[in-house]
Amino acid sequence: MTQPAYSRLPRERRVADIMAAARAVFDEKGYAAASVAEIAERAGVVEGSVYRYFEHKRALLIAVVERWYAELLSDFDEHLGVITGTWNRLRYLVWKHLSTIEKQPMLVRLVFEELRSGPDYRTTAVFQVNRRYTRRTIDILKDGIARGEIRRGIPLRIARDMIFGGVEHHTWAFVRGEGAFSPVAAADAIVDILRRGIAADTTLPEVRHVPKGPRRKPR
């Protein structure tokens, strides 16, 4: 019975415990319905302790999502670097995005509905990572123009918005647990419409050199 009323752990460990608990509770209940009290309980600390390591509840959300993003994108550039061809690269990018949504709908929902709305979003590392993402997209498109595969004068940001906006709307029901979608099929369909929409006229109908049939299913 002489067990200590509490234990002192190294900062790292405590932070990790709290973040793990937070991720679990957010994942189960969403941000608004998750209470700091419950997160604290699962992490084995008292509520006040959470606030020693995280300024707000929102800081917890940001930390959780940032860590997830870091895991997620660690191999992205590496893979993208190997894939050649404008349309193949775009297809990989779109598929990767869709696939992520399929695997972690709740975390994606946290980003879409909670994190991205806040006034502090632009100060977030998640924002930076998203910028890098969309930057890649623009780069691929610019490269396509340089190769003569994409028409000059295409408004690149509009094209990018149609990609990511299209993905988001398409997965909308699924993210809310009310539907399903196929990452591969959706990626094909989106890139196909986009390809016809922005391809240089000469490359449009037949695409004969090198990759005869369009590559499908990267990765």
Enumerate binding residues for a second copy (CB under 8 A). Answer: 113, 117, 122, 154-155, 157-170, 178, 185-186, 188-190, 192-198, 201, 204-207, 209, 211-214, 216-217
Residues 6+ apart with CB under 8 A from 111: 65, 126
Task: Name which of a second copy, DNA, none residue 120 binds, using a CB cut-off of 5 to 8 Å depending on partner kind.
Answer: none
Contact 187, 98 (CB under 8 A): yes
Q: Report residue 150: phi and psi, to 5°.
A: -120, 140
Task: Name which of DNA, a second copy, none residue 186 binds, using a CB cut-off of 5 to 8 Å depending on partner kind.
Answer: a second copy
Could you tell me which of 83, 69, 98, 72 has the C-alpha nearest to residue 219?
A: 83
Amino acid at 49: S
Residue 67 touches DNA, criterion: CB under 7 A: no
Cβ closest to DNA, residue 58 vs residue 170: 58
List, in sequence order, the alpha helices (H) in the chain.
Answer: 11-33, 36-43, 47-53, 57-73, 76-82, 86-103, 105-109, 125-146, 156-170, 172-175, 183-198
Amino acid at 85: G
Cβ closest to a second copy, residue 103 vs residue 196: 196
Q: How far is the CB of 190 from a second copy (least distance, A)?
A: 6
Q: How far is the CB of 194 from DNA (least distance, A)?
A: 41
Burial class (CB in 10 A: 0-12, 13-18, 19+), 12: exposed
Residue 9 touches DNA, criterion: CB under 7 A: yes
* Angle value at C-alpha 182, between 194 and 63, nearest 5 degrees: 90
36, 101, 140, 186: residue in contact with DNA (rule CB under 7 A)? 36
Task: Name which of DNA, a second copy, none residue 81 binds, using a CB cut-off of 5 to 8 Å depending on partner kind.
Answer: none
Report how far residue 68's alpha carbon sits from residue 101's, in angstroms, rounded to the nearest whole number. Answer: 13
Cβ closest to DNA, residue 26 vs residue 87: 26
Cβ closest to DNA, residue 45 vs residue 186: 45
Residue 170 touches DNA, criterion: CB under 7 A: no
1, 5, 82, 210: residue in contact with DNA (rule CB under 7 A)? 5
Task: Name which of a second copy, DNA, none residue 49 binds, using a CB cut-off of 5 to 8 Å depending on partner kind.
Answer: DNA
Cβ closest to DNA, residue 48 vs residue 205: 48
Amino acid at 73: L
* Contacts with DNA, residue ranges (CB under 7 A): 4-9, 11, 14, 34-37, 45-49, 51-52, 55-58
